[in-house]
């Protein structure tokens, strides 16, 4: 395995991998021994360092490796959109491993001191969600729960480790059968929720979806808060509608991500496959998205704008990563707060416009991520119990 990994990794760096070899490489990176990966990355970083000025920053070396990853993913001869998404997620593993190696395997004095300042161990969130049934019963779901868990009239609710939590109906559901699946801070849905029509839903931290046991009428309607990823079952005669505040999303069958947290000013809808229509319910203004686009609905002024999206960054959470691409520290810390269940406080902080970038595993301890961010800019962090203090 090590010989194959070394050969493929070198072909990757030389931009010579075929599509099949590239897919195999990313699979090997997911399963290979960590010491082998570190050695491969160390050899490549040594080559990159030799080509850079002596005073080059760590971030320059990281960006050099990241560029090679993105170059491989973005090559025009990989035509399948599904393959690109899959490889993008796997490539994040390479970037994350490289990032970890850069900052923690060879730290200088300054980084060591900075890491000590935020050395408190705050573990990452876990895979758990709470299902509230139409009859008010609450069921805590995690990866150990399986089999039949409840019945609602002619609808049964069950959990399969491979397929997730599903609703199966053999007749009419009970009246007003509204159900809610919700995650708290520090939680992510342990498996997909499979709605009665076969649509699949994943929840990020501090998120929820309210849905019926069965869909009746001409539309399939759900309500969401927080960040939710959808794979909607195609049904041309019954549009699928998602309500979030003053925004409505209408789809027939597609893959997309909705980010609609109460503490953020915009609702972002990002399309991966298919098509969706995003509508402002107050003004009636709407936009039709095509794959690769993101709509941004401003909750304050009602403006609805569309722009090209970084799909890899948008769905990183679902694939087990944080991915920040020139994000303000306030945005970064909101993500930290939700996943690690911590409060954020700013003290004597004057660099709110400073931008940060990086890829981190969501299984990392919070202190390690904060130390990495501290190495990249002017922000400094202190951990007091479950509060993060941000200062200069």
291 to 89, 165, 288: CA distances (angstroms): 17, 28, 10
Beta strands in 61-142 (DSSP E): 126-132, 138-142
pLDDT in tens, 67-84: 445 444 444 433 333 334
Q: Which CATH class is domain 117-122+320-391?
A: alpha beta
260 to 137, 177, 185: CA distances (angstroms): 26, 24, 15
Indicate whether 91 pLDDT > 90: no
* 191 strand-pairing partners: none
* Mean pLDDT, rounded, for 90-118: 46
Structure tokens at 255: 């893959």
CA dihedral 281, 286, 292, 294 (to 10 degrees): -50
- Percent of the chain with pLDDT strictly greater than 70: 68
Q: How many helices (H) and strands (E) does the chain have?
A: 9, 24
Indicate whether 237 pLDDT > 50: yes
Q: What is the pLDDT of residue 296?
A: 95
Q: What is the DSSP string of 170-213?
A: SSPPPTT-EEEEE--TTEE-SS-EE-TTS-EEEE-TT-EEEEES
Listed by start position, the domains of the chain span: 2-106, 117-122+320-391, 126-313
Q: What is the pLDDT of residue 264?
A: 94
pLDDT in tens, 251-303: 988 999 999 999 999 999 999 999 999 999 988 889 999 999 999 999 988 89
Q: What is the pLDDT of residue 169?
A: 74
Pairwise CA distance, residues 358 & 322, whole Å: 8
pTM of the model: 0.73
Q: What is the pLDDT of residue 252?
A: 82
pLDDT in tens, 13-40: 555 667 667 667 666 665 555 556 556 5
Indicate whether 48 pLDDT > 80: no
Sign (positive/negative) of CA torsion 4, 9, 14, 16?
positive
Top-ranked range on mean pLDDT: pick from 116-120, 221-225, 362-366: 221-225
Kindly tell me the burial class for residue 82, based on how many C-beta atoms sit within 10 Å of its own C-beta (0-12, 13-18, 19 or more).
Answer: exposed
Residue 384 sits at the vertex; the CA angle it makes with 380 and 388, to the nearest 5 degrees, is 45
Q: What is the pLDDT of residue 350?
A: 79
* 270 strand-pairing partners: 257, 294
Pairwise CA distance, residues 46 & 52, whole Å: 10
Structure tokens at 44: 């490549």
**Greatest C-alpha distance within the chain:** 72
Count of C-beta atoms within a 10 Å radius of residue 247 = 22
200 to 148, 322, 327, 347: CA distances (angstroms): 19, 22, 29, 42
Least confident piece of the model among 220-224, 314-318, 359-363: 359-363
Per DSSP, the three-state class of 21 is helix
Kindly tell me the burial class for residue 77, based on how many C-beta atoms sit within 10 Å of its own C-beta (0-12, 13-18, 19 or more).
Answer: exposed
* Candidates 3.40.50.1370, 2.30.30.140, 2.60.120.1440, 3.90.550.10; CATH matching 126-313: 2.60.120.1440
Top-ranked range on mean pLDDT: pick from 103-107, 109-113, 171-175, 229-233: 229-233
């Amino acid at each position: 395995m090590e010989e194959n990994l070394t050969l493929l990794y070198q072909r990757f760096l030389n931009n010579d991998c075929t599509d099949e070899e590239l897919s195999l490489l990313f699979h090997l990176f997911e399963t290979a021994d960590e010491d082998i990966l570190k050695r491969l990355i160390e050899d490549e970083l040594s080559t990159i360092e030799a080509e850079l000025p002596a005073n080059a920053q760590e971030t320059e070396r990281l960006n050099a490796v990241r560029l090679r990853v993105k170059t491989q993913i973005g090559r025009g001869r990989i035509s399948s959109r599904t393959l690109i998404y899959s490889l993008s997620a796997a490539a994040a593993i390479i970037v994350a491993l490289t990032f970890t190696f850069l900052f923690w395997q060879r730290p200088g004095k300054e980084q060591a001191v900075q890491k000590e300042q935020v050395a408190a161990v705050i573990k990452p969130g876990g895979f758990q969600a709470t299902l509230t049934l139409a009859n008010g019963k609450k069921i805590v779901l995690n990866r150990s729960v399986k089999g039949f868990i409840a019945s609602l009239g002619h609808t049964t609710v069950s959990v399969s480790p491979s397929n997730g939590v599903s609703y199966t109906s053999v007749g009419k559901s009970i009246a007003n059968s509204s159900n809610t699946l919700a995650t708290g801070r520090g939680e992510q849905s342990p498996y997909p929720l499979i709605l009665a029509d076969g649509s699949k839903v994943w929840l990020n931290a501090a998120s929820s979806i309210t849905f019926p046991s069965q869909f009746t009428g001409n539309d399939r309607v759900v309500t969401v808060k927080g960040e939710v990823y959808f794979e909607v079952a195609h049904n041309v005669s019954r549009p699928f509608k998602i309500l979030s505040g003053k925004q409505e999303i209408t789809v027939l069958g597609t893959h997309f991500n909705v980010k609609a947290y109460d503490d953020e000013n915009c609702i972002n809808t990002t399309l991966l496959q298919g098509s969706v229509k995003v509508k402002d319910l107050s003004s009636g203004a709407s936009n039709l998205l095509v794959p690769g686009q993101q709509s941004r609905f401003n909750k304050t002024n009602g403006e609805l704008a569309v722009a090209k999206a970084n799909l890899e960054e948008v769905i990183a959470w679902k694939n087990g990563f944080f991915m920040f691409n020139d994000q303000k520290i306030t945005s970064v810390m909101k993500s930290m707060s939700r996943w690690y269940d911590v409060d954020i406080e700013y003290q004597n902080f004057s660099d709110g416009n400073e931008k940060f970038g990086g890829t981190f595993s969501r299984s990392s301890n919070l202190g390690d991520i904060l130390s990495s961010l501290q190495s990249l800019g002017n922000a400094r962090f202190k951990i007091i119990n479950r509060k993060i203090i941000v200062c200069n």
